[in-house]
Amino acid sequence: MDPIVAQKEKRSGIYDLERTRKRFWRDTPEERRAALLPFFWSNLALQGIVLGNKWKGSSVHPKNPHLFSAPGYAEILTGQYQPDVLSNDVKRYPHPTVLEFVRRQLGLGKRQVATFGSWEGFATLSSSEEGAFFTNAGYERVPSEIETARMAYLGDLQFEIMALWEEGRSDAVTFNLALEYLRAQRPRLLYIALDESDDWAHARRYDRLLDYINVFDAYLKTLWETVQSLDGYSGRTTLIVTTDHGRGITPTDWVEHDEGIEGSADIWIAVIGPDTPDRGEVAPYPTVHQADVAATLLRFFGLDPGAFNPEAGPPIPAALQADSAP
């Protein structure tokens, strides 16, 4: 909870400041983040690394200068800034993604790599070729041949929930569809792309943004506990959690993000799992880039990032080896 933003009710859109402060205000930044993301900070962060606290000397930045959604996701998935990704128009680009590469290199079936996204644009951004692997994004049902009863229920429910913007469905639907797919299909690589934190910020509802981040923490808890309960995943699963862009830091501009707004280039990355040292928040640490996510993921699969994309950012050392202190 940002004390500067939260004090300006009209600019923050907080409807009940007393309620919001009771839920999320604490005396120190460390206590406030723990109130907002209790499972993440008390459990997940202790089983891996967290980078991006610039106040402690750990920065994570995109390489793309645009600092909005599609360029950020393209950078995450392809390992580099893609100059032709200039808008959030829903379109497919010719750049192979790390998801396609993993499937091809490991000889996996199309259902063994999957994308679930709230925004319809995630379907086209996640692969350079249509049908490269399983995707479900925007207002889309799971095909009947693999649809479980719960998927069918969620498929109906998505059309009954009025999301904040028409471009994307509720994250609750996306997350729970992905979770059910995980249980039913047991993919090797699952990409879950959520949306609502950005939506609530653009709507200038700081209270709902905080509430949503707290819900996201519950999603992480459910996901982690689920993989630890499943044979083949327990003790063998890595989570990589990151974001497409930062956003403004003042009471006026916190709702927006672009290359002219301070804070838009400040993002974070968490890598959690058995092959990552248990260091928690790592700081100080040399600057890491959004483009480094793809190579880091590939190292967990034992694959060569250079064979994927010679221009891709490097793997993040802190995520991979115990002696990785700078």
pLDDT digits (tens, 9 = 90+) for 279-325: 999 999 999 999 999 999 999 999 999 999 999 999 999 999 754 44
Distance between CA atoms of residues 105 and 198, nearest Å: 34
Greatest CA span in the chain, whole angstroms?
A: 55
Distance between CA atoms of residues 23 and 207, nearest Å: 10
Distance between CA atoms of residues 298 and 102, nearest Å: 7
Mean pLDDT by 10 residues, the chain (326 residues): 71 84 94 98 98 97 96 98 96 98 98 98 97 97 98 97 89 99 98 95 93 98 98 97 95 90 96 97 98 98 97 97 52
What is the identity of the amino acid at 262?
A: E
Assigned domain for 242 exists: yes
End-to-end CA distance of the chain: 30
Strand 285-289 and strand 280-281: pairing?
A: unpaired
Assigned domain for 138 exists: yes
Give me the pLDDT at residue 165, please: 81
Distance between CA atoms of residues 104 and 111, nearest Å: 12
Nearest Cα to Cα of residue 274 among 312, 227, 306? 227
Distance between CA atoms of residues 247 and 81, nearest Å: 19
Question: What is the three-state SS of 175-194?
Answer: HHHHHHHHHHHCCCEEEEEC
Q: Which CATH number do you get for residue 58?
A: 3.40.720.10
**Whether the Cβ atoms of residue 250 and residue 4 lie closer than 8 Å to each other:** yes
Q: How many domains does the chain have?
A: 1
CA distances to 32, 121, 189 from 175, rounded to whole Å, are: 25, 16, 15
Assigned domain for 172 exists: yes
**Whether the Cβ atoms of residue 123 and residue 117 lie closer than 8 Å to each other:** yes
Give me the pLDDT at residue 323, please: 45
> Which structural domain, as residue segments, surrounds residue 53?
9-319
Token duo for residue 141:
């049902």
What is the identity of the amino acid at 26?
A: R
Assigned domain for 2 exists: no
Per the listing, tokens 């590939």 go with 298
Residue 308: helix, strand or coil by DSSP?
A: helix
Give me the pLDDT at residue 324, please: 47
How many CB atoms neighbour CB 306 within 10 A? 12
Assigned domain for 94 exists: yes
Token duo for residue 40:
């993440």
Assigned domain for 3 exists: no
Assigned domain for 4 exists: no
Distance between CA atoms of residues 270 and 275, nearest Å: 13
Helix (H) or strand (E) holding 149: helix 149-157
How many CB atoms neighbour CB 210 within 10 A? 24
Assigned domain for 54 exists: yes
Instruction: Report which DSSP code applies to 315.
Output: P
Question: Which residues, 6 or more positions from 210, have their beta carbon under 8 angstroms from its beta carbon?
Answer: 1, 20, 23, 24, 36
Question: Residues, the chain, total?
Answer: 326
Token duo for residue 17:
């400041």
Tell me the whole-structure pTM to 2 decimals: 0.95
Give me the pLDDT at residue 187, please: 99
